[in-house]
Structure 1
Amino acid sequence: MRLAPAVVLLLAITGCGGQAGDTNALRGKVFVSTSVTERELVEGTSVELRFTDDGRLIARAGCNMMQSPVELDGGKLKVDDLSTTAMGCPKPELHEQDEWLSKLLSAAPSWQLKDANLVVAGNGTEIVLAPEEPAKLEGGEWKVDTLVSADAASSVPGAVPATLTFADGRVDVFTGCNSGSASYRVDGQKITFEGLVHTDKACGPDETLVEKAVVAALTGQVAYKIERSSLSLTNTQGDGVQLKK
């Protein structure tokens, strides 16, 4: 029996169900696990796969970072010489979980997109990962994580708990010692801050250093960038802060 051309075309299309699709759909995106079969992840951890614009895969399973060039053709995820950082994990289970993910990725697992989710399967395990949405400027507290000068970046000294909270054109500020607020307006990748006022208590040396960086980042027009859960604010002199949610 001969099939009509339209039927042949329909069979060809339906026969592709479950293939990966456009490999470019993964570039520049981060996916975080929502479910894992045949394995219970360590409490508080997840599998994270990041596909960079330059063709690399960066993966995490709760402790160390793994990365490698990646090929995605033919519905297979193929890494070449997956390298892993050698950070000591606080729990043996985390180290073992890193090894499990490394073996899975090194075994050329299958991948496909189901709606917006990425499904990776191999070694008897299926991982469903949802695309990670970048944090938004407004809503929730940003914690100062790094101090930035024109030629260097350093961690916050003494674990000073400086924070910013953006809402409805006003930012509430805690410098780690003093508190205050300012108005702001966003224009593209620039934020203009105006009218910063804050209390003027005497602060320790660590708090004073952090406060100086925060004030510099909230004066006049500054460049801002949100990448995943990180926010950077940099003034025209190259000084500022980086924050995390």
Structure 2
Amino acid sequence: MIAPASRRLLSTALLPPVLAVVLVGVLASCAGGTGDVAGRSFVATDATGHELAAGSQVVLAFTEDSVGAQPGCNSMSAPATWDDGTLRLTGEMRSTMMGCADELMAQDEWFSALLRAEPTLTLDGSTLTLTAEDSTVTLVEQD
């Protein structure tokens, strides 16, 4: 059995390392880093700066080093980085060239411009927010 004085000494000796581990965990969770979006896809639930076309679905997907989108008509993708909380396309955006209804084509153009505008990314659990100068899009993770 450990004497009470020894227990106090032992517990105060362990306190700094335990606090350090807890602090690291708290800081990591608060950082909300966007590096963890790789391998995940999200669908838009709300947007400002553009009215989402009725019946359309805006999807954004990430791999380790690229971003892909299906904003309503065409599919597009580009190499990208986002580890600092800003989505930056690091190469040419490629897109299919399907003809669609005018409102879907306009939505493709708007979303493509949004991705090129280097939006900030904020990840809160399964909710991702893209924010650029004139637009904000809220997306939730797809199953």
- 1:74 maps to 84
- 1:117 maps to 127
- 2:67 maps to 57
- The CA distance in 2 between the partners of 1:85 and 1:20, in whole Å, is 33
Between 1 and 2, higher relative CO (CA 8 Å, sep ≥ 6) is seen in 2
2:104 is matched with which residue: 88, 94, 116? 94
Q: Point out 4+ residue stretches in structure 1 off by more than 3 angstroms.
A: none
CA offsets 1:169-228 (integer angstroms, 9 cap, x no match): xxxxxxxxxxxxxxxxxxxxxxxxxxxxxxxxxxxxxxxxxxxxxxxxxxxxxxxxxxxx
- The CA distance in 1 between the partners of 2:42 and 2:34, in whole Å, is 16
> Cα offset for 1:63?
0.1
Name the amino acid aligned to 1:31: F
CA offsets 1:149-188 (integer angstroms, 9 cap, x no match): xxxxxxxxxxxxxxxxxxxxxxxxxxxxxxxxxxxxxxxx
1:41 is matched with which residue: 52, 63, 88? 52
Contact map agreement 1:20 1:75 (CA 8 A) in 2: no
Check 1:69–1:96 CA distance in 2 against 1; reply closer, same or farther (3 A cut).
same
- 2:6 maps to none
- 2:42 maps to 31
Check 1:31–1:105 CA distance in 2 against 1; reply closer, same or farther (3 A cut).
same
- The CA distance in 1 between the partners of 2:49 and 2:34, in whole Å, is 28
Instruction: Choose between structure 1 and 2: higher helix proportion.
Output: 2
SS in 1 for 2:84: helix
CA offsets 1:89-136 (integer angstroms, 9 cap, x no match): 1x1111111010111101110001112211111132111111101xxx
Structure 2's unaligned 5+ residue stretches are 1-22
- The CA distance in 2 between the partners of 1:34 and 1:22, in whole Å, is 19
Greater Cα radius of gyration, structure 1 or 2: 1
- 1:103 maps to 113
2:33 is matched with which residue: 21, 28, 37? 21
Contact map agreement 2:44 2:139 (CA 8 A) in 1: yes
TM-score (norm 2): 0.74
Q: Count the aligned residue pairs.
A: 118
Is 1:127 the counterpart of 2:115? The answer is no
Between the aligned residues of both structures, percent identity stands at: 35
Contact map agreement 2:33 2:83 (CA 8 A) in 1: no
1:127-166 to 2 correspondence within 5 Å?
Answer: 127-133=137-143
Cα RMSD (Å) of the superposition? 2.2
- 2:94 maps to 83
Name the amino acid aligned to 1:56: S
Instruction: Choose between structure 1 and 2: higher strand proportion.
Output: 1
TM-score (norm 1): 0.44
- The CA distance in 1 between the partners of 2:95 and 2:32, in whole Å, is 26
1:204-223 to 2 correspondence within 5 Å?
Answer: none
Name the amino acid aligned to 2:126: A
> Cα offset for 1:60?
1.2
Structure 1's unaligned 5+ residue stretches are 1-9, 134-245
